[in-house]
Amino acid sequence: MADFKDQVVVVTGAAGTLGGVIADAFLAAGARLVLPDFAGDRLEARFAALRGKPDHVLAPGADLTDAPGVLRLIDAAAVTLGGIDVVVNTVGGFRGGQPLHEAPLADWDVMLQMNLRPTVLVCRAAIPHLLRRGRGRIINIGARPGATGVGGLSAYGASKAAVIRLTESLSEELKDKGITANSVLPSTVDTPDNRAAIPDADPKRWVEPAAIADLVLFLAGHGGRAISGAAIPVYGLS
């Protein structure tokens, strides 16, 4: 197992299934965590054991689409924990199922607001702290439709494609400063929500959250030191 003892890791969306599993994996590897999520009750219930612990920062109710709020949160966490080493952006959402000419135009605004803006704002706030370290890792969660167009998912796919291009640009900006930036592209993730939404599918063909967490920790650790600008597919059997 990778050792993240004394490293400070930001995992956004930690109240969700994937974010929670990734945060658990970093915690088991000795990391100190910064866990912002808008779903305050779920976050506090999910990580009740960390409440009040000086080595971790829970940020329930955090609105990661609010630029000043994100900056205050990241800066305060860095002061409290002594810096930031790794940023993992899992926040996102999904809308789709209709062709472009039938889908509400509002879907485009919602998808960019949910899937791109939080990643931009968290990276923008965290990068100065990574630069002070002289090293760091950024891992952004994209999605398969961001790499390959899917009918009925134009807004979702475009927003996730934007995450991939953003990550590639960050890699070019930061790779000479000891900071890597990569994106991970899951297909359908095996979560309770997806099982409920697609009851006739075979979840054995989907991707386990733990498999994604394994990849994220590899990229964040010493083994991922020479990988930057990659968009890595994690498709399982789908």
Whole-angstrom Cα distance, residue 96 to residue 118? 20
Nearest alpha carbon to residue 57 among 71, 39, 43, 42: 43
Q: How many residues does the chain have?
A: 238
Whole-angstrom Cα distance, residue 22 to residue 54? 20
Surface-to-core class of residue 16, CB atoms within 10 Å of its CB (0-12 exposed, 13-18 middle, 19+ buried) = buried
- Contact (Cβ atoms closer than 8 angstroms) between residue 95 and residue 156: yes
Largest CA distance in the chain: 51
Token match 């299934």: residue? 17
Residues marked active site are found at 156
DSSP readout, 115-147?
HTHHHHHHHHHHHHHHHHHT-EEEEEE--HHHH
